[in-house]
Amino acid sequence: MSNLEKFAELGLSEKSLLAISKKGFEEPSPIQKLTIPLLLKNEKDIVGQAQTGTGKTAAFGLPIMDKITEGIGKVQALVLAPTRELAVQVAEEINSFRGGRRIAVLPIYGGQSYDQQLRGLRKGVEIVVGTPGRVIDHLNRGTLKLDDLKFMILDEADEMLNMGFIDDIELVLSKTPEDKRVMLFSATMPKRIIQLAEKYMGEYEVIKIQTKQLTVDLTDQIYFEVRASDKFEALCRIIDVEKEFYALVFCRTKLKVDHVAGALIDRGYDAAALHGDISQAQRERILESFKNKRVNILVATDVAARGIDINNLTHVLNYSIPQDPESYVHRIGRTGRAGKQGTAITFITPSEYRKLMMIQHVSKSDIRKESLPKVKDLIKLKRERIIEEIDKIVAAGGLEENMHIANELLAKYPGDQVISALLMHAYKDEFSAEKYIEIFEPVRKQKVEYKRHSENTPDMEGITRLFIALGRKDDMNPKKLVNLIQNEAMVEARLIRDVQIYDNFSFANVPFAEAEQIIKTFRRRGKDKKPLIVEAKGKDESTPKKNFRSGKSRHNRGHKNYSKPANTGAPRRKKRF
């Protein structure tokens, strides 16, 4: 049975199946298998108990897309989320399920400009995702109308309870039509949540996904906080810094698996891809090569990696953060076997920090933060490694075969010049810093904890301010600038907002995911190979900082020497990697 057939069996439409195919989902998660048919086939409300990251957004987002009326510009679904970070994340995920439908999804949360939200609401939207406080503000102003509401979703209800939002939730519920359907999702079911369900929900179905007791042993666990656009460069540095790297690299979708594995092969690494679209015969050949270490890096999805039993892996690397604590423990359990110490590495973006902390809490793991090795350290370690290799060759003897060439060269040139020339011939520009792309460690602008966030502090993670090194002198106006970014970076024009044009430069606001895509696209397109677009720095937007990325290039190998973590508010521990 194909992956799409598994989703089709749940009753989803062709448009939803198209969206699933584009996202590369391989099979429904447990919460999706139980929730989607109920939402599509009957009129009961739903109470779902499941941990964060188990696929809840798709569980309610996909069927809602199928049930609401597109293109009418009236709010038919309202999702309440405890924090603005989660509101943005849920809105972006739901938006990715549109499958070509004319359905607008708008996040509204404290800290974001009211004007920006009002423009979106006036244009007309079908789905709103918001934090309780800001939703109430718009209801009181009359700018958010819920007369046509069909679905009300309370996401992470216990978290909203812990953050003191229970009265706000009840106030919002009291302003919604009686004939709507309510879905409540919560990791735990305290008495107050049950009372909420009894008071505001009609006849409801209870869906419970059991949480297993999770433990991890013999695995050193670390994480790196990087921009999404820098993950691949970070992966290459980790591979290069290790004397031995025999690893499984996990990605969330088959599309990302193909992309990462292909890019590794292009860089000269012995890598292979494994996912659900690969035939059984190919799978067997790939696994045979991996077990025999003809391939030392296997990039795979969770589903495709099932059944792989290899005891001597040195690393498991989560290129994409796992969906839930169970997946995390299952992944990293593939190293640290047979009494051997293994290393589990997880990449996260700043917006995923909260999810990693939840995984750490539930799985009772000790995951410490590290910083990536610097370019100068990689080059130094490469030189040391080559000297070690040459020492071994000389000690092994058997050099007579090439001695006549050595004597001939030494008769012409000094010995140090001969050695330097041979190293240059063998390794070309392997020691050049220009072979590496510079990675800037991202900084979370606020500390993310399990407590109530102020909705009035400025949002620093949902929207990114971009500095563009083009202005009026370059014959640029807002329309031309938007068209340039849209055509080059394949970002929708509606996501490029608040464009300001000055004589020599410009600014624009875009969601953080699109910002990383834009920055990566324009990284080496400016004069003197300086990027045309970077993240804006400094408080005074009319006086931008000249903080260009260097545009440096790639690659190379060294041994383990990770830097001390920067002080970004993340947990620090004395233990070193």
pLDDT digits (tens, 9 = 90+) for 234-286: 998 899 888 889 999 999 888 899 999 999 998 889 999 998 788 878 888 99
Q: Does the global pTM surpass 0.85? A: no
Q: Domain check: are 186 and 105 in the same one?
A: yes
User: At how many degrees (to 10) do helices 403-412 and 415-427 cross?
Assistant: 120
Query: Residue 521 falls within a domain, yes or no?
Result: yes
End-to-end CA gap in the chain: 43
CATH of the domain at 498: 3.30.70.330
Residue at which a domain ends, from 186, 208, 230: 208
Q: Domain check: are 354 and 265 in the same one?
A: yes
Amino acid at 107: P
Q: Domain check: are 242 and 345 in the same one?
A: yes
Q: Domain check: are 405 and 362 in the same one?
A: no
A 10 A CB-CB count for 117 gives 21
Beta-strand pair 315-318/247-250: parallel
DSSP 92: H
Q: In whole angstroms, give the CA distance from residue 79 to residue 286.
A: 43
Query: Residue 451 falls within a domain, yes or no?
Result: no
Query: Residue 199 falls within a domain, yes or no?
Result: yes
Residue at which a domain ends, from 208, 234, 253: 208
Query: Residue 570 falls within a domain, yes or no?
Result: no
Higher pLDDT: 386 or 444? It is 386
Q: In whole angstroms, give the CA distance from residue 124 to residue 142.
A: 14
- What the block records as the tokens of 534 is 């970077």
Q: Domain check: are 11 and 123 in the same one?
A: yes
Q: Domain check: are 204 and 337 in the same one?
A: no
- What the block records as the tokens of 348 is 């996260």
pLDDT digits (tens, 9 = 90+) for 18-56: 888 877 777 888 889 999 999 998 788 999 987 666 788
- Number of domains observed in the structure of the chain: 4
CATH of the domain at 158: 3.40.50.300
Q: Cα 261 to chain center, whole Å?
A: 17
Q: Domain check: are 263 and 356 in the same one?
A: yes
Q: Domain check: are 389 and 491 in the same one?
A: no
Q: In whole angstroms, give the CA distance from residue 95 to residue 464.
A: 19
Query: Residue 213 falls within a domain, yes or no?
Result: no
Tokens 């020599």 belong to 504
Q: Domain check: are 348 and 390 in the same one?
A: no
Cβ-proximal residues to 269 (8 Å cutoff; 6+ apart), any chain:
236, 239, 296, 297
Please choose, from the candidates 172, 194, 192, 81, the residue with its C-alpha nearest in 3D space to the C-alpha of residue 129: 81
pLDDT digits (tens, 9 = 90+) for 86-95: 888 899 889 9
**DSSP structure string for 423-452:** HHHHHTTTT-GGGS---PPP--SS---SSP
Summarize the confidence of residues 373-391 as an average pLDDT.
78
- What the block records as the tokens of 93 is 């995920």
pLDDT digits (tens, 9 = 90+) for 339-381: 567 899 999 988 888 888 888 888 788 899 988 888 777 778 7
- What the block records as the tokens of 381 is 């370690």
Q: In whole angstroms, give the CA distance from residue 364 to residue 309.
A: 24
A 10 A CB-CB count for 517 gives 18
Residue at which a domain ends, from 326, 353, 369: 369
Which of the four pLDDT bands, split at 50, 70 and 90, describes residue 140?
A: very high
Query: Residue 507 falls within a domain, yes or no?
Result: yes
Q: Domain check: are 356 and 496 in the same one?
A: no
Q: Domain check: are 143 and 202 in the same one?
A: yes
pLDDT digits (tens, 9 = 90+) for 209-240: 765 555 555 678 999 999 888 899 899 889 98
pLDDT digits (tens, 9 = 90+) for 505-525: 999 988 877 787 788 888 755
User: 347 forms bridges with which residues in the sheet?
Assistant: 224
Query: Residue 28 falls within a domain, yes or no?
Result: yes
Q: In whole angstroms, give the CA distance from residue 172 to residue 484.
A: 41
Q: Domain check: are 127 and 47 in the same one?
A: yes
Beta-strand pair 367-369/151-154: unpaired
Residue 181's domain spans which residues? 3-208
Backbone angles phi, psi at 474, to 5 degrees: -100, 20
Which of the four pLDDT bands, split at 50, 70 and 90, describes residue 431?
A: low
- What the block records as the tokens of 379 is 């080059």
